[in-house]
Amino acid sequence: MSNFLYFHSPGDPFKPIVLAFHGTGGDEHQFTELLNDLAPGVGIFGVRGKVQEHGMNRYFARFAEGQLDFEDLAFRTQELADWLKTRPELENRETIALGYSNGANIAANLLLTNTFPLNKAILLRPMYLPTAIETLDLTGTTIQINAGEADPICPPEQSHQLAEKFTRANATVDLKMIGAGHNLTQADMIIIQQIVGDVLREG
């Protein structure tokens, strides 16, 4: 079994835990301080991607900016899912995936391949992925997609296509257009706070 570097803050074991996926160049701690500020006490499980691109951490390879290696994406998604299933920290916990850019893409592909159970997902600046969904049923899964209106890396039309794909798989999808580029803004922070905070109150 292939191991990943990770960070774990358990929070309340009877409430959902955030499975955090960083953007290119980030690590397992990218969302830790932010989540502690926005939702104090939340459980966090941050995972570092194993692929290196000029010294930057990623979850899967790409040929160039905006040109993803879909074969590597498939392999890395299965590798990650297999490892996550072995983690006792996630056993019997509802999970909220939180991913940014490259991290949003790996989280989206976990959903599209149904290789690891995710109850909710917050996908920040994701791209469209061609993963087949013919038999996929995401009924009961809630997915938040935040797209940058002027994003040169993950064009908003790709987020629209991804949202439509999840909708066809019966997920409940909310697509928000953020007045920004690829960078995250206060509007993103507010949405994260609302979703994670609501889950903590309900869990």
182 in catalytic set = yes
9 in catalytic set = no
- Cα 117 vs. chain centroid, distance in angstroms? 12
151 in catalytic set = yes
Q: Which residues lie below 8 Å from residue 86, measured CB to CB, with a gap of 6+? A: 1
- Which residue out of 8, 29, 160, 182 is catalytically annotated? 182
Q: Which residue has the tokens 């803004």?
A: 185
- Which residue out of 27, 69, 151, 198 is catalytically annotated? 151
CA distance 159 to 177: 9
- Which residue out of 22, 101, 159, 188 is catalytically annotated? 101
CA distance 63 to 21: 21
Say which DSSP state 40 is in: T
Retrieve residue 47's tokens.
């995972």
Cite the active site residues: 101, 151, 182
